[in-house]
Protein backbone atom coordinates (compact mmCIF):
# COMPACT_ATOMS: atom_id res chain seq x y z
CA UNK A 1 0.00 0.00 0.00
CA UNK A 2 1.34 3.44 -0.91
CA UNK A 3 1.93 6.01 1.84
CA UNK A 4 1.14 9.60 0.87
CA UNK A 5 1.59 10.99 4.40
CA UNK A 6 5.06 10.14 5.68
CA UNK A 7 6.19 12.25 8.64
CA UNK A 8 4.08 15.23 7.68
CA UNK A 9 4.96 18.07 10.07
CA UNK A 10 6.27 15.79 12.84
CA UNK A 11 9.90 14.90 12.17
CA UNK A 12 11.10 12.47 14.88
CA UNK A 13 14.64 13.87 15.25
CA UNK A 14 15.63 17.47 16.04
CA UNK A 15 19.35 16.97 15.40
CA UNK A 16 21.60 14.14 14.34
CA UNK A 17 23.41 12.36 17.19
CA UNK A 18 26.66 14.20 16.36
CA UNK A 19 24.87 17.54 16.85
CA UNK A 20 24.52 18.44 13.17
CA UNK A 21 21.30 19.79 11.72
CA UNK A 22 22.01 18.51 8.21
CA UNK A 23 23.66 15.21 7.33
CA UNK A 24 25.05 14.95 3.79
CA UNK A 25 25.66 11.53 2.27
CA UNK A 26 27.49 11.30 -1.05
CA UNK A 27 26.89 8.05 -2.93
CA UNK A 28 29.38 7.20 -5.68
CA UNK A 29 27.84 4.69 -8.08
CA UNK A 30 30.54 2.24 -9.19
CA UNK A 31 29.02 0.58 -12.27
CA UNK A 32 31.82 0.58 -14.84
CA UNK A 33 32.41 -3.00 -15.94
CA UNK A 34 29.03 -4.22 -14.72
CA UNK A 35 27.01 -2.67 -17.56
CA UNK A 36 25.75 -4.67 -20.54
CA UNK A 37 28.48 -5.02 -23.16
CA UNK A 38 29.15 -7.18 -26.19
CA UNK A 39 32.24 -8.91 -24.75
CA UNK A 40 29.97 -10.27 -22.01
CA UNK A 41 27.33 -11.42 -24.48
CA UNK A 42 24.83 -8.87 -23.15
CA UNK A 43 24.44 -6.40 -26.02
CA UNK A 44 24.95 -2.65 -25.51
CA UNK A 45 24.18 -0.22 -22.70
CA UNK A 46 23.21 3.30 -23.76
CA UNK A 47 24.13 5.11 -20.51
CA UNK A 48 27.65 6.23 -21.28
CA UNK A 49 28.33 9.83 -22.28
CA UNK A 50 25.22 10.04 -24.43
CA UNK A 51 21.85 8.33 -24.27
CA UNK A 52 21.34 7.67 -27.97
CA UNK A 53 21.03 3.89 -28.43
CA UNK A 54 23.05 2.36 -31.24
CA UNK A 55 21.73 -0.37 -33.54
CA UNK A 56 21.65 -3.50 -31.32
CA UNK A 57 23.38 -5.39 -34.12
CA UNK A 58 26.45 -3.13 -33.82
CA UNK A 59 28.92 -3.15 -30.94
CA UNK A 60 28.94 0.26 -29.22
CA UNK A 61 32.65 0.86 -28.71
CA UNK A 62 32.00 4.53 -27.96
CA UNK A 63 29.85 3.83 -24.91
CA UNK A 64 32.22 1.09 -23.76
CA UNK A 65 34.97 3.71 -23.77
CA UNK A 66 32.87 6.13 -21.75
CA UNK A 67 32.39 3.51 -19.05
CA UNK A 68 36.09 2.65 -19.11
CA UNK A 69 36.95 6.32 -18.52
CA UNK A 70 35.04 6.11 -15.26
CA UNK A 71 37.09 3.20 -13.92
CA UNK A 72 40.43 4.30 -15.38
CA UNK A 73 40.34 8.04 -14.63
CA UNK A 74 37.09 9.30 -13.12
CA UNK A 75 37.03 7.22 -9.95
CA UNK A 76 40.54 8.29 -8.99
CA UNK A 77 39.78 11.96 -9.63
CA UNK A 78 36.84 11.72 -7.24
CA UNK A 79 38.94 9.80 -4.71
CA UNK A 80 41.52 12.59 -4.72
CA UNK A 81 38.79 15.14 -4.00
CA UNK A 82 37.39 13.09 -1.12
CA UNK A 83 40.87 12.71 0.32
CA UNK A 84 41.58 16.44 -0.05
CA UNK A 85 38.45 17.36 1.90
CA UNK A 86 38.64 14.37 4.28
CA UNK A 87 35.10 13.53 3.21
CA UNK A 88 33.47 10.23 4.23
CA UNK A 89 31.42 8.87 1.33
CA UNK A 90 29.44 5.78 0.38
CA UNK A 91 30.37 3.69 -2.62
CA UNK A 92 27.35 2.02 -4.24
CA UNK A 93 29.14 -0.88 -5.87
CA UNK A 94 28.22 -3.39 -8.54
CA UNK A 95 30.27 -6.45 -7.63
CA UNK A 96 31.37 -7.23 -11.19
CA UNK A 97 32.70 -3.69 -11.57
CA UNK A 98 34.84 -4.16 -8.47
CA UNK A 99 36.09 -7.54 -9.67
CA UNK A 100 37.33 -5.89 -12.86
CA UNK A 101 39.17 -3.04 -11.13
CA UNK A 102 41.54 -4.68 -8.61
CA UNK A 103 43.46 -1.45 -7.80
CA UNK A 104 40.26 0.34 -6.82
CA UNK A 105 39.02 -2.73 -4.94
CA UNK A 106 42.25 -2.76 -2.93
CA UNK A 107 41.96 0.96 -2.20
CA UNK A 108 38.33 0.60 -1.08
CA UNK A 109 39.21 -2.37 1.12
CA UNK A 110 41.90 -0.32 2.87
CA UNK A 111 39.67 2.76 3.27
CA UNK A 112 37.13 3.65 5.95
CA UNK A 113 34.34 4.37 3.45
CA UNK A 114 31.21 2.25 3.54
CA UNK A 115 29.79 0.13 0.76
CA UNK A 116 26.22 -0.08 -0.50
CA UNK A 117 25.33 -3.12 -2.59
CA UNK A 118 24.25 -2.18 -6.12
CA UNK A 119 23.86 -5.60 -7.73
CA UNK A 120 26.33 -7.99 -9.29
CA UNK A 121 25.59 -6.62 -12.75
CA UNK A 122 24.24 -3.13 -13.47
CA UNK A 123 20.98 -4.36 -14.94
CA UNK A 124 17.31 -3.48 -14.74
CA UNK A 125 15.87 -5.92 -12.22
CA UNK A 126 12.34 -4.89 -13.22
CA UNK A 127 12.98 -6.78 -16.45
CA UNK A 128 14.22 -9.92 -14.69
CA UNK A 129 12.38 -12.91 -13.33
CA UNK A 130 12.32 -13.29 -9.56
CA UNK A 131 14.75 -16.19 -9.84
CA UNK A 132 17.25 -14.08 -11.80
CA UNK A 133 16.90 -11.05 -9.52
CA UNK A 134 17.47 -13.16 -6.42
CA UNK A 135 20.47 -14.84 -8.04
CA UNK A 136 22.00 -11.44 -8.85
CA UNK A 137 21.47 -10.21 -5.28
CA UNK A 138 22.92 -13.35 -3.73
CA UNK A 139 25.90 -13.33 -6.11
CA UNK A 140 26.67 -9.71 -5.22
CA UNK A 141 26.31 -10.37 -1.50
CA UNK A 142 28.79 -13.23 -1.71
CA UNK A 143 31.37 -11.32 -3.74
CA UNK A 144 31.26 -7.82 -2.23
CA UNK A 145 32.18 -8.67 1.40
CA UNK A 146 35.08 -10.77 0.13
CA UNK A 147 36.39 -7.89 -1.98
CA UNK A 148 35.94 -5.07 0.55
CA UNK A 149 36.73 -7.05 3.68
CA UNK A 150 33.67 -6.00 5.66
CA UNK A 151 29.91 -6.59 5.74
CA UNK A 152 27.59 -4.88 3.26
CA UNK A 153 24.46 -3.74 5.08
CA UNK A 154 22.52 -1.74 2.47
CA UNK A 155 21.08 -2.42 -0.97
CA UNK A 156 19.76 -0.54 -3.99
CA UNK A 157 19.33 -1.47 -7.63
CA UNK A 158 19.51 0.27 -10.99
CA UNK A 159 16.83 2.83 -11.85
CA UNK A 160 13.67 0.76 -11.55
CA UNK A 161 13.23 -1.67 -8.64
CA UNK A 162 10.75 -4.47 -9.15
CA UNK A 163 7.74 -5.11 -6.92
CA UNK A 164 9.76 -7.85 -5.22
CA UNK A 165 13.09 -6.00 -4.80
CA UNK A 166 12.46 -4.84 -1.23
CA UNK A 167 11.13 -8.23 -0.17
CA UNK A 168 14.21 -10.00 -1.53
CA UNK A 169 16.55 -7.53 0.19
CA UNK A 170 14.71 -7.76 3.50
CA UNK A 171 14.95 -11.55 3.40
CA UNK A 172 18.74 -11.50 3.14
CA UNK A 173 20.27 -12.01 6.60
CA UNK A 174 23.12 -9.52 6.11
CA UNK A 175 21.06 -6.58 4.85
CA UNK A 176 19.57 -3.99 7.22
CA UNK A 177 18.14 -1.35 4.87
CA UNK A 178 17.53 -0.43 1.25
CA UNK A 179 17.71 2.81 -0.73
CA UNK A 180 15.28 1.93 -3.51
CA UNK A 181 12.89 4.82 -2.85
CA UNK A 182 13.04 8.54 -3.57
CA UNK A 183 9.80 9.34 -1.74
CA UNK A 184 11.30 11.11 1.28
CA UNK A 185 14.42 12.90 2.49
CA UNK A 186 14.63 11.10 5.83
CA UNK A 187 14.88 7.39 6.66
CA UNK A 188 11.66 5.65 7.56
CA UNK A 189 10.36 2.27 8.65
CA UNK A 190 8.05 0.20 6.50
CA UNK A 191 6.47 -3.24 6.72
CA UNK A 192 7.79 -6.16 4.68
CA UNK A 193 5.91 -9.42 5.19
CA UNK A 194 4.96 -8.42 8.72
CA UNK A 195 8.41 -7.26 9.79
CA UNK A 196 9.80 -3.72 10.15
CA UNK A 197 12.27 -2.70 7.47
CA UNK A 198 14.35 0.45 7.21
CA UNK A 199 14.46 2.58 4.06
CA UNK A 200 17.12 5.28 3.61
CA UNK A 201 15.83 7.20 0.55
CA UNK A 202 18.01 8.00 -2.44
CA UNK A 203 17.82 11.09 -4.69
CA UNK A 204 17.47 11.40 -8.45
CA UNK A 205 17.40 15.20 -8.12
CA UNK A 206 20.75 15.85 -6.43
CA UNK A 207 22.30 13.50 -8.94
CA UNK A 208 24.68 13.90 -11.86
CA UNK A 209 22.36 11.88 -14.12
CA UNK A 210 20.68 15.24 -14.61
CA UNK A 211 23.46 16.17 -17.02
CA UNK A 212 21.55 13.89 -19.42
CA UNK A 213 17.92 13.99 -18.26
CA UNK A 214 15.71 17.00 -18.92
CA UNK A 215 15.76 19.51 -17.37
CA UNK A 216 19.50 19.08 -17.65
CA UNK A 217 22.48 20.75 -16.02
CA UNK A 218 23.93 22.65 -18.97
CA UNK A 219 27.20 23.22 -17.12
CA UNK A 220 28.86 21.89 -13.93
CA UNK A 221 28.10 25.28 -12.40
CA UNK A 222 24.39 24.44 -12.55
CA UNK A 223 25.00 21.20 -10.65
CA UNK A 224 27.09 22.98 -8.03
CA UNK A 225 24.45 25.71 -7.64
CA UNK A 226 21.76 23.06 -7.22
CA UNK A 227 23.69 21.20 -4.52
CA UNK A 228 24.77 24.33 -2.65
CA UNK A 229 21.29 25.83 -2.84
CA UNK A 230 19.77 22.62 -1.52
CA UNK A 231 22.07 22.21 1.47
CA UNK A 232 21.73 25.90 2.37
CA UNK A 233 17.94 25.65 2.27
CA UNK A 234 17.92 22.47 4.37
CA UNK A 235 20.13 24.14 6.95
CA UNK A 236 17.92 27.22 7.05
CA UNK A 237 14.85 25.02 7.36
CA UNK A 238 16.38 23.04 10.23
CA UNK A 239 17.37 26.24 12.04
CA UNK A 240 13.73 27.28 11.90
CA UNK A 241 12.50 24.13 13.61
CA UNK A 242 11.91 21.66 10.79
CA UNK A 243 14.05 19.01 12.47
CA UNK A 244 17.08 17.06 11.31
CA UNK A 245 17.60 17.01 7.55
CA UNK A 246 19.34 14.49 5.27
CA UNK A 247 20.71 15.31 1.83
CA UNK A 248 21.77 12.54 -0.54
CA UNK A 249 24.03 13.30 -3.52
CA UNK A 250 24.46 10.74 -6.31
CA UNK A 251 27.65 10.72 -8.40
CA UNK A 252 29.04 8.53 -11.20
CA UNK A 253 32.77 8.33 -12.01
CA UNK A 254 32.20 8.32 -15.78
CA UNK A 255 30.30 11.61 -15.50
CA UNK A 256 31.42 13.58 -12.44
CA UNK A 257 34.92 12.20 -12.87
CA UNK A 258 35.37 14.31 -16.00
CA UNK A 259 37.64 17.25 -15.19
CA UNK A 260 35.03 19.91 -15.97
CA UNK A 261 32.23 18.25 -14.01
CA UNK A 262 34.52 17.47 -11.08
CA UNK A 263 34.56 21.21 -10.38
CA UNK A 264 30.96 20.91 -9.16
CA UNK A 265 31.93 18.19 -6.69
CA UNK A 266 34.96 20.20 -5.54
CA UNK A 267 32.93 23.38 -5.04
CA UNK A 268 30.22 21.58 -3.10
CA UNK A 269 32.73 19.88 -0.82
CA UNK A 270 34.47 23.20 -0.23
CA UNK A 271 31.12 24.78 0.68
CA UNK A 272 30.03 22.19 3.25
CA UNK A 273 33.41 21.31 4.74
CA UNK A 274 34.01 22.91 8.11
CA UNK A 275 30.40 24.00 8.66
CA UNK A 276 29.62 23.04 12.24
CA UNK A 277 25.93 22.33 11.60
CA UNK A 278 26.57 20.11 8.55
CA UNK A 279 28.06 16.62 8.72
CA UNK A 280 29.36 14.51 5.86
CA UNK A 281 28.39 10.97 6.78
CA UNK A 282 28.35 7.37 5.60
CA UNK A 283 25.00 5.91 4.64
CA UNK A 284 25.35 3.03 7.07
CA UNK A 285 25.95 5.61 9.80
CA UNK A 286 22.62 7.24 8.95
CA UNK A 287 20.87 3.86 9.04
CA UNK A 288 22.45 2.99 12.39
CA UNK A 289 21.56 6.36 13.90
CA UNK A 290 17.97 6.05 12.77
CA UNK A 291 17.60 2.52 14.10
CA UNK A 292 19.04 3.57 17.48
CA UNK A 293 17.19 6.88 17.94
CA UNK A 294 14.01 6.48 15.88
CA UNK A 295 13.47 2.75 16.08
Report the distance separating Cα 111 and Cα 106, nearest Å: 9
Report the distance separating Cα 210 and Cα 190, nearest Å: 29
pLDDT at 75: 99
Report the distance separating Cα 108 and Cα 102, nearest Å: 10
Q: What is the maximum alpha-carbon separation in the chain? A: 57
pLDDT at 84: 98
pLDDT at 44: 64
- The CATH H-level superfamily of 22-293 is Glycoside hydrolase/deacetylase (3.20.20.370)
Among 204, 197, 286, CA closest to 245: 286
Tallying the residues shown for the chain, one arrives at 295
pLDDT at 61: 82
pLDDT at 90: 98
Report the b/e string of 69-106 with b at 16+ CB within 10 A: bbbbebbebbbebbeebebbbbbbbbbbbbbebeebbe
Report the distance separating Cα 9 and Cα 190, nearest Å: 18
Which stretches does DSSP call E strand in the chain? 22-30, 90-93, 114-117, 154-155, 177-178, 188-192, 195-199, 245-251, 278-280
Report mean pLDDT in 10-residue bins for the chain, 295 residues: 91 93 98 82 66 77 89 98 98 97 98 97 88 95 97 93 93 97 96 96 95 86 97 98 97 97 98 96 97 90
pLDDT at 46: 67
Give one DSSP letter per residue of 28-43, joined into a string.
Answer: EEE-TTTS--GGGTS-
pLDDT at 280: 98
Give one DSSP letter per residue of 147-178, joined into a string.
Answer: HHSS---EE--SS---TTHHHHHHHSTT--EE
- Which sequence spans correspond to the domains of the chain? 22-293
Amino acid sequence: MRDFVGYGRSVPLDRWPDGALVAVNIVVNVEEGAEAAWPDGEGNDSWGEYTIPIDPAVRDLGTEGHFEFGSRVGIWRLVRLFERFDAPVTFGVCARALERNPPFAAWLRASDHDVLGHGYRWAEVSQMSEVDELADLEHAMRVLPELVGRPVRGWYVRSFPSERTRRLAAAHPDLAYDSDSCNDELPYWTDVDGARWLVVPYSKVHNDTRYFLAPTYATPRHFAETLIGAVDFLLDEARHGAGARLMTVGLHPRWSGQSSRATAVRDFLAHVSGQREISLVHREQVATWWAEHCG
